[in-house]
């Protein structure tokens, strides 16, 4: 995969529309593009339907059904566990695993596993992967979880290999090789995802609106992304009202735009006008 572009920012700033614009631009240039939504409240299809946009043949769209993927993830985990324990013990473990499935953080774990598979399996099929994310707080937690999940799996994998070695010496190895292989495969996938996001051709396009609240959240988001050593491709100032709109509707947008240019000037700044006609944006805006 030649590039991965994340569109991130505060809820309601227009990340989904801009991710579609970006994907369409690349597809029209002849690239093979996968546009994917990792926002549980995804709306890619709704926006494309509303704007009556024809999706090019070289552009695929994927909206993750996180509930369906979580069920699949839990089912797969239980199938693996079932191989190594007795039926009575399995009943107790099954209850525990199913209760964990409803706890906070499970959806992030499922999403990380899904994306890691996607990057590994589709790495040669697409030249561009455009990702529409959930609001910034959720996205930052998800990005931090990728690194922590990789570190945890590395530790568990090492411990599993140590146990495997000891059982091999004692002649009681049995199913430990398969467990070790499952852990190793998952660790390697998530490690590859982590490396791809941090060191590959991966960029974050931070989207904001020209208002004070959006500006402040964008500032915090950029600080966090830089703290994670992630590359920012651009700051996109979206929904800019034209000058003929009365000042009471435009608010302090000129002041906010000037402030954004001063504070975020080390990045590429892209300005996008406010348009109710999404068809216009899909044809004219270059991101």
How many domains does one find in the chain? 1
- Kindly give the pairing relationship between strand 128-132 and strand 59-63: unpaired
Residue predicted with more confidence, 78 or 10: 10
Burial of 204 (0-12, 13-18, 19+ CB in 10 A): buried
> What are 270's strand-pairing partners?
236
Q: Which residue shows structure tokens 């990789």? A: 150
Burial of 91 (0-12, 13-18, 19+ CB in 10 A): exposed
Instruction: Please state which of the ranges 52-56, 227-231, 262-266 shows the lowest mean pLDDT.
Output: 52-56
Query: What is the C-alpha to C-alpha distance for residues 44 and 41, in angstroms, rounded to an integer?
Result: 10
Range of the structural domain that residue 104 is part of: 3-284
Residue 186 is given by DSSP the state H
pTM for the model stands at 0.84
What CATH number does the domain containing 192 carry? 3.40.50.300
Q: Please, which pLDDT band fits residue 142 given cuts at 50, 70 and 90?
A: confident
Per-position DSSP letters for 82-137, written without gaps between them: HTTS-HHHHHHHHHHHHHHTTSTTHHHHHHHHHHHHHHHHHTTT-SEEEEEPPPHH
- Mean of the per-residue pLDDT values of the chain: 82
Query: What is the C-alpha to C-alpha distance for residues 263 and 130, in angstroms, rounded to an integer?
Result: 26
| Max Cα-Cα span within the chain | 82
CA distances from 38 to 99, 199, 217, 236 (A): 23, 21, 20, 20
Q: Determine contact, residues 226/198, Cβ cutoff 8 Å.
A: no
Most confident range, picked from 65-79, 84-98, 134-148, 251-265: 251-265
Q: Determine contact, residues 210/237, Cβ cutoff 8 Å.
A: yes
Beta strand extents in the chain (DSSP E only): 3-9, 33-37, 59-63, 128-132, 202-208, 232-240, 269-273
pLDDT at 29 over 90: yes
Query: What is the C-alpha to C-alpha distance for residues 260 and 215, in angstroms, rounded to an integer?
Result: 7
Q: Determine contact, residues 144/230, Cβ cutoff 8 Å.
A: no
Q: Please, which pLDDT band fits residue 202 given cuts at 50, 70 and 90?
A: very high
């Amino acid at each position: 995969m030649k590039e991965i572009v994340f569109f991130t920012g505060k809820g309601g700033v227009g990340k989904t529309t801009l991710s579609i614009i970006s994907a369409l631009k690349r597809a029209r240039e002849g690239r093979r593009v996968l546009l994917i939504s990792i926002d549980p409240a995804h709306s890619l299809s709704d926006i494309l339907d509303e704007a009556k946009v024809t999706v090019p043949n070289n552009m695929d769209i994927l909206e993750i059904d996180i509930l369906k993927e979580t069920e699949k993830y839990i089912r797969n985990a239980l199938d693996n566990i079932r191989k190594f324990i007795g039926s009575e013990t399995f009943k107790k473990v099954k209850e525990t695993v199913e209760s964990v499935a409803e706890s906070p953080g499970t959806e992030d774990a499922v999403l990380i596993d899904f994306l890691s598979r996607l990057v590994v399996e589709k790495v040669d099929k697409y030249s561009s992967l455009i990702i529409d994310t959930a609001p910034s707080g959720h996205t930052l937690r998800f990005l931090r979880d990728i690194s922590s999940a990789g570190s945890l799996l590395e530790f568990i994998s090492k411990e599993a290999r140590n146990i495997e070695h000891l059982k091999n010496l004692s002649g009681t190895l049995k199913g430990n090789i398969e467990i070790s292989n499952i852990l190793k495969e998952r660790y390697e996938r998530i490690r590859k995802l982590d490396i791809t996001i941090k060191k590959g051709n991966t960029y974050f396009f931070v989207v904001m609106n020209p208002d004070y609240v959006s500006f402040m959240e964008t500032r915090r988001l950029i600080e966090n992304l830089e703290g994670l050593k992630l590359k920012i491709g651009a700051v996109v100032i979206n929904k800019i009202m034209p000058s003929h709109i009365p000042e009471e509707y435009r608010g302090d947008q000129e002041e906010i735009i000037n402030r954004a240019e001063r504070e975020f000037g080390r990045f590429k700044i892209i300005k996008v006008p406010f348009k109710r006609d999404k068809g216009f944006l899909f044809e004219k805006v270059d991101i």
